[in-house]
Amino acid sequence: RLAPGPYLTQLLVDVGAEVIKIETPTIGDYARHIPAEMGLGKMFDMINQGKKSVTINYRNPRGRDVFHRLVATADVVLENFRPGTAARWKIDYDSLRTIKPDIIYCALTGYGQTGPYTSRAGHDLNYSAISGALSLNAFENNPPVPYGLTVADLSGAMLAGMAILSALTGKQRNGEGAYLDVA
């Protein structure tokens, strides 16, 4: 809903992909409702141009069935949930590859699917700090100054895009899907 997934899919739209954005009923994408006065009000418009959008409650069996029918026609599924969430709703890679064996599935998360920080919530500022990048924006005897741009979110999205495009190239050669874990 925030920067990484929508930015990544906007990049894919910009190079010609058909993107179907799945939104949760009643909630939708809350970026749509951020007031312009907060400086991000137009973010939704900027990173959702040219996408198709559908509301599906994939948390219940009927909605999940609709989602699975869409997956059967897709080349790529991108999810941006905390690790384990997609499996709980049966929309994870193992569930979806039984529907479409050559699916390319990208899980884009803050800290990846495994490791000591997997269950931690995170935001761009956390990633910049823990990586040490934030310290590069510090001045003597002063705390670091956060970047004016979500550098980690946007970089992660671009790297996930490269991974997806690489997996699509591999699929053209060998007919196989892929699981991509991008943090």
Q: Which of 29, 94, 153, 181 is catalytic?
A: 153
Measure the CA–CA gap between 107 and 143, rounded to whole angstroms.
33
Question: What is the chain's Cα-based Rg?
Answer: 17
Residue spans of beta strands (DSSP E) within 24-172: 52-55, 76-79, 104-108
In which residue are the tokens 């990586």 written? 131
Count CB-CB contacts under 10 A for residue 158: 14
Cβ neighbours for 19, distance < 8 A, ≥ 6 positions apart: 9, 12, 13, 50, 51, 52
Give yes or no for a contact between 102 and 171, defined as CB atoms under 8 angstroms apart.
yes
In the residue annotation, 153 being an active-site residue is answered as yes
Active site residues per annotation: 153
